[in-house]
Amino acid sequence: MPTFLYEFEVPADIAAVAAFHQDTRVLRPLTPAFVQLRRVDPLADGSESEFTVWFGPFPIRWRAVHRDVGPTGFTDIQAEGPLAYWEHTHRFTVIDADRTRLSEQIEYAYQPGWRGAYGRVFFGRPALRFLFWYRARQTRRRLSG
C-alpha cells in the first residue's frame, strides 16, 4: 500500500498546535478553494467531516471519520470517497518549548479500473505534495501570530 509522508515545523508549542487543530474553524483556511466543506463535527473520536472536492464541474464527495484524537494528534479515515482506502494520521512532536513538528502520514490505495486511474490523477503524489504544502503554509501563518 502506498504511503505519503509530509513533515513541517511551526513556531508554536505543542499545546497551541493541538488547540489549533481542535478548532473546526481552521479547516476553512487550511482547505484549498476547490474543496467545499459541507459538515465538520467538533474533533473527537467518531466525529465526521464531509466535503466535496471539485475538479472543474466534477464533484467528488468525501466523508472522513476521526479516531485516536488526543493532545499529540489524530487520524482520519475515509468512510466514503474516491479511493479504495485512505488513512491520514496527523502527529504533533515537540522540537523545543516554542516549536512543534507536524507529521502527516497517509496510507492509501486506489480503486480498480477507470476509478483508480481517476484517483491516481487527482490524488497522486504531485497533488498530495501541493495540498500539504498549502496546508503547511497556512498553518505556519496562523500559528506564527
Domain range annotation of the chain: 3-143
Q: Of 26, 2, 33, 1, nearest to 12 (Cα)?
A: 26
Rounded to two decimals, what is the model's pTM?
0.92
Q: Which whole-number Å values give the CA distances from 102 to 5, 8, 38, in the listed order?
A: 10, 5, 25
* Weakly modelled stretches of the chain, pLDDT under 50: none
The pLDDT of residue 42: 95
Out of 3.40.960.10, 3.20.20.10, 3.30.530.20, 2.60.120.10, select the CATH number for domain 3-143.
Answer: 3.30.530.20
Residue 118: the pLDDT is 79
pLDDT of residue 119: 84
Task: Name the residue with cell 474533533.
Answer: 43
Cα 42 to Cα 109: distance, rounded to the nearest angstrom: 27
Helices (H), 1-144: 14-22, 27-30, 113-122, 125-143
- Model pLDDT, residue 122: 82
Tens digits of residue pLDDT in 29-51: 998 888 999 999 999 999 999 99
The secondary structure of residue 24, as a DSSP letter, is G
pLDDT for the residue numbered 121: 83
